[in-house]
C-alpha cells in the first residue's frame, strides 16, 4: 500500500488498472469510480461482469450517469457473489415480500383505526347532551364575583 504517497491522477494506478496490470492513462475510464484504496469494488464487478463489459457500459453512458451505474454494478456484483443463483433478484424479492407483509399490516391497522374512530364518534354523539366543561374560567370568575358580593 504505497499509493498514499502519490497524488491522485499522477502515477498511482486505479484499482482496475492495478488488477488488470496495465498502465493507468490520465483519461482512464475506471479511475474516477475505482480508486486504488477500494480494490474490492473492481474485483467484484470484474469477476461478475468482466472488465471489458464494464468498460463498454461506462463508455456508452454520459459522464454524469457513470457514478450511479458503477454503484449499481458494484451492488449487483456483490449480490451475485453472495447469492450465485438469484443475485440481486433475491434481495428484490425479499424486499417485495416485506412490502407485501407491511401493506397487509397497514391495511389491518387502518381498518382497526377506522373501527375505533367510528365507535368513538358514536360514543361522543351519545354523550353530547352533557354540558361542556370548557367554561371553567368564566365560571371561576363568577365564583370570585359572588364571593366578593357576599
Ligand atoms: Zn485506471
What was the pLDDT predicted at 130? 56
Ligand 1 centre distance from Cα of residue 56 (Å): 14
Q: Quick one: which of 3, 60, 75, 74 has its CA closest to 35?
A: 3
72 & 39 share domain: yes
The whole-chain average pLDDT of the chain stands at 84
pLDDT confidence band for 5 (50 / 70 / 90): very low
Q: For the chain, give the percent of residues with pLDDT over 90.
A: 70
- Whether 134 has a pLDDT exceeding 70, the answer reads no
Q: Which residues contact 82 (CB under 8 A, 6 or more apart)?
A: none
Which position has the higher pLDDT, 136 or 58?
58
Average pLDDT over every residue of 67-75:
97
- The end-to-end CA distance of the chain, in Å, is 95
Question: Residue 58 to residues 4, 47, 108: CA-CA distances in angstroms?
Answer: 26, 17, 46
The number of folded domains in the chain is: 2
Q: Does 17 lie in the same domain as 3?
A: yes
| Whether 8 and 76 share a structural domain | yes
pLDDT at 108 over 70: yes
Buried/exposed code over 129-143 (b: 16+ C-beta within 10 A; e: otherwise): eeeeeeeeeeeeeee
3-state secondary structure of 32: coil
If you measure from the C-alpha of residue 20 to the centroid of ligand 1, how many angstroms do you get, rounded to a whole number?
A: 9
Residue 93 has pLDDT above 90, yes or no: yes
**Residue keyed to cell 449499481:** 72
Residues 41 and 93 both lie in one domain: no
Q: How far is the CA of 24 from the centre of ligand 1 (A)?
A: 4
The pLDDT confidence band at residue 133, using thresholds 50, 70 and 90, is: low
Q: What does the pLDDT average to over 24-42?
A: 95
Query: Cα–Cα distance between 129 and 121 in angstroms, integer?
Result: 14
Alpha-carbon distance of 150 to 136, in angstroms, equals 21
Asked if the model's pLDDT at residue 9 lies above 50, the reply is: no
Helices 51-60, 39-48: inter-axial angle, 10-degree rounding: 100
- Which domain does 69 fall in, by range? 1-82
CA of 49 to the centre of ligand 1 (A): 17
d(Cα 101, Cα 95) in Å, to the nearest integer? 10
Indicate whether 148 belongs to any domain. no
Residue 138, pLDDT above cutoff 60: no
71 and 94 fall within a common domain: no
pLDDT at 128 over 70: no
pLDDT at residue 4 is higher than 50: no
CA of 134 to the centre of ligand 1 (A): 75
43 and 59 share one domain: yes
Quote the pTM value.
0.62
Amino acid at each position: 500500500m504505497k499509493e498514499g504517497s502519490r497524488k491522485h491522477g499522477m502515477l498511482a494506478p486505479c484499482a482496475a488498472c492495478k488488477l488488470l496490470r496495465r498502465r493507468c492513462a490520465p483519461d482512464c475510464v475506471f479511475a474516477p469510480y475505482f480508486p486504488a484504496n477500494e480494490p474490492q469494488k473492481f474485483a467484484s464487478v470484474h469477476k461478475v461482469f468482466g472488465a471489458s463489459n464494464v468498460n463498454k457500459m461506462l463508455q456508452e453512458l454520459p459522464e454524469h450517469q457513470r457514478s450511479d451505474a458503477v454503484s449499481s454494478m458494484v451492488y449487483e456484483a456483490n449480490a451475485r457473489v453472495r447469492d450465485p443463483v438469484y443475485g440481486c433478484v433475491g434481495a428484490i424479492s425479499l424486499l417485495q415480500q416485506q412490502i407485501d407483509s407491511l401493506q397487509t399490516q397497514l391495511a389491518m391497522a387502518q381498518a382497526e383505526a377506522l373501527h375505533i374512530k367510528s365507535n368513538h364518534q358514536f360514543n361522543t354523539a351519545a354523550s353530547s347532551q352533557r354540558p361542556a366543561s370548557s367554561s371553567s374560567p368564566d365560571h371561576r370568575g363568577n365564583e370570585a364575583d359572588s364571593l366578593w358580593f357576599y
